[in-house]
Amino acid sequence: MVCVNFCFNFHFSSIFASLPPQTFRAVLSESMEHFVNCINENTSIQLVANHFFSLRATSYIFSNLLVEFLISRMEVMGENPELSNLYLRLFKVVFGSVQYHPNDNELMLKPHVSKIVNNSMNMALKAKKPYNYFQLLRALFRSIGGGSHDLLYHEFLPLLPTLLKGLNQLQSGIHIQSMKDLFVELCLTIPVRLSSLLPYLPWLMEPLVSALNGTQSLIAQGLRTLELCVDNLQPDFFYEHIQPIRTELMQALWKTLSHPVDSIASVSFRILGKLGGSNHKLMIEPQKLTWIDHGDSTAQYFTSSTDSASQSAGAIKPDHIPPHNASSYVSISFSEVMANPPPQHSSTNSTTINLPIDKVNGVCRFVFQTFKSC
């Protein structure tokens, strides 16, 4: 049955493809809405559209008619989930046609780029379901972001200030994590040359840090962007722009060294190597430390590995509770190697003290002075 439908759609589309270009345009322009509705009712009819996209004689005309129809009905993408999925799928096919016939379809898409971007940003602010508009921008950026569509890149130059500012404000706001990840990806994948981004480089720094602390795909994208900057920008110029976020950036980069995916860890190591000694100079502020907050007031305060079973790590010792009822501790361990250990005991005697966080400085000062006097 599938084979029959394919053959029928192929021969049906071939009839229209054999028409003169003027006749083909006249027929499709009058019936485009009906054609799209038919695709919505029967997805196999999209094979007809795919055949039009693949043929050089019909690709430019059909793509132009379809994208004009979709742009005129973009407001539906924020209201009707069923039609929004269909329109988004058709938009993706139109963007993908640029890869098949770049010389013709770049010219077709060029006058529509600004409309798509501006409509998506403006309608997303008013729509009930704005996620589809940002997915549309992601599909556009991905389809032409390979570095070989300079004609389309020029269309983004006047849009850069508004686009980057808007996306930065959105990713800094309060949204669900999937939306924030999408905003960060859009900031880092705007299809322009790096030289065009130089005046707006500060607007990329915060999304770059967010990407390095995000999901695996975002980390990979953030590392690609960071390595592109390190390879192509003068060190002084680059370091000047990362000063506001230098600590967060370097901490995120060092953290990716322990990522379970080897490719990400190796890229991080390579970037740190390209930074040279500067990767240490940038870390001039204290590291962010994490501690375990023990909310239970009966938490054990002092434990020793040489204690009996009743005084093990899980036992409760009320007399070990700090008198000031502190709830945050830092664990400090001391180990002593015993020359003649008792039977059934380890040769290493270790003791762990859970100090309240406000007592750590005084104890550390006492320990350092003791070692210094020795």
How much is the pLDDT for 297?
45
How much is the pLDDT for 340?
58
How much is the pLDDT for 334?
57
CA distance 141 to 120: 13
169 with 259, same domain: the answer is yes
In a domain, 120, yes or no: yes
208 with 249, same domain: the answer is yes
26 with 108, same domain: the answer is yes
Q: Residue 213 corresponds to which amino acid? A: N
Q: Residue 158 corresponds to which amino acid? A: P
120 with 3, same domain: the answer is yes
How much is the pLDDT for 282?
57
In a domain, 293, yes or no: no
CA distance 107 to 260: 44
283 with 327, same domain: the answer is no
Q: Express each pLDDT in 6-29 by its tens digit.
A: 565 666 777 777 788 888 888 888
In a domain, 369, yes or no: yes
Backbone angles phi, psi at 184, to 5 degrees: -65, -45
Q: Express each pLDDT in 177-217 by its tens digit.
A: 888 999 999 999 999 888 888 888 888 889 999 999 999 99
DSSP 80-91: -HHHHHHHHHHH
Q: Express each pLDDT in 291-329 by its tens digit.
A: 666 555 444 444 433 333 333 333 334 444 444 444 455
In a domain, 281, yes or no: yes
227 with 354, same domain: the answer is no
Coil, strand, or helix at residue 307? Answer: coil
pTM for this predicted structure: 0.72
Residue of 360 and 13 predicted with greater confidence? 13
Is residue 47 over pLDDT 90?
A: no
- Residue 325: domain span: 302-336+347-373
Residue 70 confidence class, pLDDT cut points 50, 70, 90: very high
Q: What is the CATH number of the domain that holds 166?
A: 1.25.10.10
124 with 81, same domain: the answer is yes
Domains contained in the chain, number: 3
Among the residue ranges 12-16, 101-105, 223-227, 346-350, the one predicted with the least confidence is: 346-350
How much is the pLDDT for 345?
53
Tokens 């054609």: give the residue: 35
Q: Express each pLDDT in 260-282 by its tens digit.
A: 888 999 999 899 888 877 666 65
How much is the pLDDT for 330?
56
